[in-house]
Amino acid sequence: GKHWTVNEVRALIRIWSDKNIQQQLEGTVRNKRIFEQVAARLQNFGIDRDWKQCRTKYKNLKHEYKSVKSSQVSRSTSKSMKFFNELDAIL
């Protein structure tokens, strides 16, 4: 799909940081319904993404976050990522 802009990612993270969404995500593996909600909320910001795109972006961000976090712990490399602090606050 088309690349996510910084604003789109910020909006996704803002929605994701919602306690309600976080609780739903923690308790489930089958999360299509949750990402449909997320996609609907992105629409309110004028961002047109389907639930699959939201879930993929969420998974990628989470994966990237974890790899940066573990590289910090082992101090092997100073990896960094754009939205690390925002994600650190959530995860």
The answer to the question of residue 25 being in a domain is: yes
The answer to the question of residue 1 being in a domain is: no
Give 42 or 30, the one with higher predicted confidence.
42
The answer to the question of residue 71 being in a domain is: yes
pLDDT at residue 86, rounded to an integer:
85
As to burial, measured by CB atoms within 10 angstroms (0-12 exposed, 13-18 middle, 19+ buried), residue 90 is middle
* Domain with 84 in it: 6-89
How many domains is the chain partitioned into structurally? 1
Q: What is the DSSP letter of 29?
A: S
pLDDT at residue 77, rounded to an integer:
61
Q: Which whole-number Å values give the CA distances from 63 to 40, 48, 70, 84, in the listed order?
A: 24, 23, 11, 11
pTM of the predicted model as reported, rounded to 2 decimal places: 0.81
Q: Does residue 15 have a pLDDT over 80?
A: yes
Whether 84 and 66 have beta carbons less than 8 Å apart is answered as: no
pLDDT averaged over the chain?
A: 88
pLDDT at residue 27, rounded to an integer:
76
The answer to the question of residue 14 being in a domain is: yes
- What is the gyration radius of the CA atoms in the chain, in angstroms? 14
